[in-house]
């Protein structure tokens, strides 16, 4: 998570607004337990209609929300790019394996042709000697 872009004094003063207040329903332990200083709660529609939230308090929160959303979009784009690159790597590895197999088969054919050439060469030499020796 990205911290709010407020200094601590600005942030704590923005939490004193009626939209932020202690929320005892968030705690399930004994009633004498200390509550956190300010817990955000969802105001009722009546409270929203009757309250005016100054832009100076709302803007930092909206900026933070925008910043978090922007980062999530970048992360999503980066994840998608990473996924596409991993798929491309897999495709290239598969292609390289196929080409390696083809190369191995061609080398084997080359060796077999060399052996056949040597055998034919030997037969010709033997045949020439046989004819000359008669």
Average pLDDT over residues 62-75: 92
Residue 4 Cα distances to 9, 35, 68, angstroms: 12, 22, 10
How much is the pLDDT for 8?
45
The helix (run of H) or strand (run of E) holding residue 56 is: helix 55-132
Beta bridge partners of residue 40, listed in sequence order: 20
How much is the pLDDT for 68?
93
How much is the pLDDT for 100?
98
Range with the poorest average pLDDT among 19-23, 87-91, 107-111:
19-23
**What average pLDDT does the chain have?**
76
Q: What is the DSSP letter of 29?
A: S
Which tens digits make up the pLDDT trace of 7-57? 444 444 444 544 444 445 444 444 554 544 544 555 666 666 667 888 888
Would you say residue 87 has pLDDT above 80?
A: yes
Beta bridge partners of residue 20, listed in sequence order: 40
Contact of 19 with 4, CB cutoff 8 Å: no
Would you say residue 71 has pLDDT above 80?
A: yes
For 24, the token pair is 């005892």
Q: Which of 51, 56, 69, 46 is nearest to 14 (CA)?
A: 56
Average pLDDT over residues 120-128: 87
HSE of 35 in the Cβ direction (CA atoms, 13 Å)?
13
Please report where in the chains the tokens 């598969």 appear, as a residue: 94
Average pLDDT over residues 106-125: 95
């Amino acid at each position: 998570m990205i911290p709010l872009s407020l200094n601590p004094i600005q942030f704590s003063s923005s939490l004193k607004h009626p939209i932020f207040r202690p929320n005892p329903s968030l705690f399930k332990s004994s009633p004498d337990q200390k509550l956190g200083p300010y817990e955000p709660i969802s105001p009722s529609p009546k409270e929203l209609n009757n309250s005016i939230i100054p832009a100076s308090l709302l803007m930092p929160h909206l900026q933070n929300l925008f910043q978090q959303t922007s980062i999530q979009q970048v992360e999503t784009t980066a994840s998608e790019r990473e996924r596409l690159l991993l798929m491309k790597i897999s495709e290239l590895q598969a292609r390289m394996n196929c080409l390696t197999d083809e190369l191995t088969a061609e080398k084997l054919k080359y060796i077999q042709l060399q052996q056949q050439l040597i055998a034919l060469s030997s037969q010709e030499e033997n045949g020439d000697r046989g004819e000359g020796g008669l």
